[in-house]
Amino acid sequence: MDRRVVAVTRHVGLADVRPNGRMRLDAIARVVQDVADADATSAPDVGMGMWLLRRMALDIAHTPRFRAALDARTWCSGVGARWAERSTEIAFGEAVCIASTAIWVHVDPDRGVPVPLPPAFDGIWGVGGANERKVSSRLTHGAPPADGARSAWPLRATDLDIVGHVNNSAYWAIVEEELARRGQPVVRRAEIEFRAGLDAGDDVEVVRAERSDGFACWCCVDGDVRASMTVGLA
Low-confidence ranges of the chain (pLDDT < 70): 1, 127-132
Phi, psi of 31 (to 5 degrees): -65, -45
Q: Is 111 found in the same domain as 199? A: no
Could you give the count of Cα atoms lying within 13 Å of 185 in the half-sphere of its Cβ? 16
* Spatial CA neighbour of 130 closest among 117, 112, 144, 147: 117
Q: Is 171 found in the same domain as 124? A: no
pTM of the model: 0.95
Domain hosting residue 99, numbered range = 6-132
For 57-123, give the DSSP string: EEEESS--BTT-EEEEEEEEEEE-SSEEEEEEEEEETTEEEEEEEEEEEEE-TTT-SB-PPPTTHII
Kindly report, residue by residue over 90-113, the tens digit of the pLDDT.
999 999 999 999 999 999 988 889
Q: What's the pLDDT score for residue 128? A: 53
Q: For the chain, what is the domain count? A: 2
CA atoms of 69 and 11, how far apart (whole Å): 5
Domain-located, residue 141: no
Q: Is 165 found in the same domain as 62? A: no
CA atoms of 179 and 181, how far apart (whole Å): 5
Q: What's the pLDDT score for residue 126? A: 79
Q: What's the pLDDT score for residue 51? A: 93
Domain harbouring 209, CATH code: 3.10.129.10
Q: What's the pLDDT score for residue 112? A: 86
Q: What's the pLDDT score for residue 47? A: 84
Q: What's the pLDDT score for residue 1? A: 52
Q: Is 108 found in the same domain as 57? A: yes
CA atoms of 58 and 38, how far apart (whole Å): 19
Q: What's the pLDDT score for residue 132? A: 66
Domain-located, residue 45: yes
Q: What's the pLDDT score for residue 127? A: 60
